[in-house]
Structure 1
């Protein structure tokens, strides 16, 4: 275990055996395709491929079968990756009976989305947009139609972009967080223990990620003092007049009563649907209880 090469070999062997058992469990039967793509820390595009199927005992199972590198985020690259991976595991598109993707247009597009290309290969591969995802997207879209809420979302997004624009700013943000955390612990305002007081990152919201707005607003509130500190520093030390003016404008805007009020209001509203969505996705959930939750 002291050899990195040996560790990789062991992990690869485990993966091969696990995927082999999954494929045997599917037994050339029907399955649902679950796909999502994102960039890794090196900026390379990768796509995770999972399957949902009914095993021999009648239980619905979900299994991860691979993470593949794709050329870009285009639909053709995504389909090409899927077409290459499935035959490698003795699976075919003709056995696909469902598709589950996020709400991005390259996934859900009616004319040239991934779901449309897959359905051209298998007419029974029906796509069902995650209902929890739809609920969150609807709530965010309706909220943004209110001008003040739209301004809030734009302001938070711009501030996070400014703070994350350089490693130095991110380091300043983290150091400020540590300072306020130590002060809170010394004053007895926070409990200490395993898993408590985890470092909060600069979470950016994204319309295709159903919980991102809630997490982004919540982290912004929790890290508000550190965000103000970094903006203060930029007003004084930014290299260009444009950067100083931008930081000064953000600093003034984020400390107004209206912005603070809307930030807490939207966190409370999105928190309700967030708890609801988390409950809906529990494996032990049943239909009668879901109706009560709705």
Structure 2
């Protein structure tokens, strides 16, 4: 029986409880995957205080042939070089008793090469800096967003009118600007 002062509201105790739940959920995911084939999805981003972090997700097909994606965790990183990423993946695998053959996604390798080349090329780097500034300015105001959206609607309507653009389901949808990043 809990005493009056034992309310389990201590941040340390709450963190321990969340960690226990997390381990149990990951264990059930591992049990469901068992020895089957799965893919690991790793993506990086920075959080609000601009700390590098990676998100780890497992993708697999269950016994009912349903594709599932399960979030495993967020890991703060000092850098996102390949050796650091490999070390984190190895740690996640070993702590969860995964055994896997690792095949790196060549499309992602190509994307990383393009990012590095774009950063090294002055004109490309300046272009992406300008795009980032435009997105920041436009997304900072609802009025500017609406103005851009209306201009886009008018442009698409005019192009459809002169048969320069085809109308159709899924075409010319309303989209929004997203802050630029290395993966966008």
Question: Is the structural similarity TM-score above 0.5?
Answer: yes
| Counterpart for residue 6 of structure 1 | 13
Partner of residue 111 from structure 2, selected from 105, 116, 120: 105
* 1:222 aligned residue: 142
Which residue is equivalent to 2:133? 158
Secondary structure in structure 2 of the residue aligned to 1:93:
coil
Q: Structure 1: how far apart are the matches of 2:63 and 2:9?
A: 40
Change (3 A) 1:261 1:64: closer
For the structure 1 residues 93 and 70, does the alpha-carbon distance in structure 2 shift closer, same or farther, using more than 3 Å as the test?
Answer: farther
CA distance in 1: counterparts of 2:80 and 2:32, whole angstroms = 31
Which of 170, 173, 176 aligns to 1:272? It is 173
SS in structure 2 of the partner of residue 79 of structure 1: helix
1:33–1:98 contact (8 Å) kept in structure 2? no
Match of 1:56 among 59, 63, 68: 63
> In structure 2, do the counterparts of structure 1 residues 97 and 79 end up closer, same or farther at CA, with 3 Å as the change threshold?
closer
TM-score normalised by length of structure 2: 0.59
RMSD over aligned Cα, in angstroms?
A: 4.2
**2: CA distance, partners of 1:9 / 1:102:** 36
Q: Distance in 1 between matches of 2:153 and 2:92?
A: 42
Residue 184 of structure 1 aligns with which residue? none
Q: 1:271 to 1:5 in 2, by over 3 A?
A: farther
Report Cα offsets for 1:198-220 as digits up to 9, x if no partner: xxxxx64xxxxxxxxxxx85x35
Structure 1 residue 3 displacement after superposition: 1.9
Q: Indicate which of 31, 38, 41 corresponds to 1:31.
A: 38
> Greater share of helix residues, 1 or 2?
1
Contact 2:149–2:174 under 8 Å retained in 1: no
Q: How far, CA to CA, are the matches of 2:62 and 2:104 in structure 1?
A: 16
Gaps of 5+ in 1: 113-150, 160-202, 205-215, 226-259, 276-294
Conserved 8 A contact 1:32-1:100: no
Q: 1:19 to 1:262 in 2, by over 3 A?
A: closer
1:73 aligned to which of 80, 83, 90 = 80
After TM superposition, give the deviation of residue 222 of structure 1 in Å: 1.2
